[in-house]
Amino acid sequence: MNRSVGCARGRGEKGRQEVDDPLPPTENPPTTSFPWFTAPIVLLREQAVRMKPYEVRAPRPDELRQLAQLKIDWAGLDPRPDKAAEWVYADELAAWMDRMGDRVLCRVAVMGDTLIGMAWLVVFERVPDFVERRRRTGDLQSVYVLPGKRGHGVGLALMNAITAEADRRGIPRLTVHSNSPGVALYEAAGFHGAATLLHRDRPADAPAG
């Protein structure tokens, strides 16, 4: 059972299945201006004997195919899309990120040349108040770490990078819709359940268009 948890900080990880056949970097990556690309690199040392060093940073343009694969893994699709469909999705994801500009923030965990985790923050403008003319909130989405890399603090490192940037931008509130296993991690990071934070699902019989 999912719960909505909201606050100004958070860490956590979520995932379904591991990448069995990651695509190698392409010589012709999706074309985009990547306004979200600039970010300080956080180098993280070994946290366990069997865990190699990794870094958390913004994704590079030549990593968009791997990033798209992580999104597909996160969704747990069965059957998995074929490679051609994955590449089309990677191009569409790159175009979406380009359109969103600084309204989307992505951080990835990288070990060698392989992406092992990701976290996203989508920033929304709220209706201006008379006193507070620019009101923003951030929604944490698609937090995922490869199954074989969990338990080493990768998800927490991703959240640290996301929340640090959100704080730098002055975003006062972050929310996340967590699954049950992730609640404890988010709560440990400062997220807390809000009885007044409600959501509505579109009725199945609602007319389209």
What's the domain range around 117? 12-164
Q: Does 142 fall in a domain?
A: yes
Instruction: Name the domain count of the chain.
Output: 1
Q: Which value, to the nearest 10 degrees, does the dihedral of the CA atoms of residues 23, 27, 30, 31 take? A: 160
Location of structure tokens 């998995």: 80
Q: Does 73 fall in a domain?
A: yes
Q: Does 127 fall in a domain?
A: yes
Location of structure tokens 């060093």: 53
Alpha carbon separation from 113 to 60, 94, 110, 153 (Å, rounded): 11, 19, 7, 19
Q: How far apart are CA 137 and CA 98, in angstroms?
A: 20
Q: Does 80 fall in a domain?
A: yes
Q: Does 48 fall in a domain?
A: yes
CATH number of the CATH domain containing 114: 3.40.630.30
Q: Does 122 fall in a domain?
A: yes
What is the pairing mode between strands 3-7 and 114-126? unpaired
pLDDT in tens, 22-74: 333 444 544 444 444 445 455 554 444 467 899 999 999 999 999 999 999 99
pLDDT in tens, 184-203: 777 777 778 888 888 888 89
Cis status of the peptide bond prior to 59, with omega within 30 of 0: no
Q: Considering only CA atoms, which of 154, 145, 152, 143 is closest in space to residue 178?
A: 143
pLDDT in tens, 92-103: 999 999 999 999
Q: Does 192 fall in a domain?
A: no
Q: Does 207 fall in a domain?
A: no
> In this model, does residue 88 exceed pLDDT 90?
yes
Residue 106's pLDDT is 98
pLDDT in tens, 121-148: 999 999 999 998 899 999 999 999 999 9
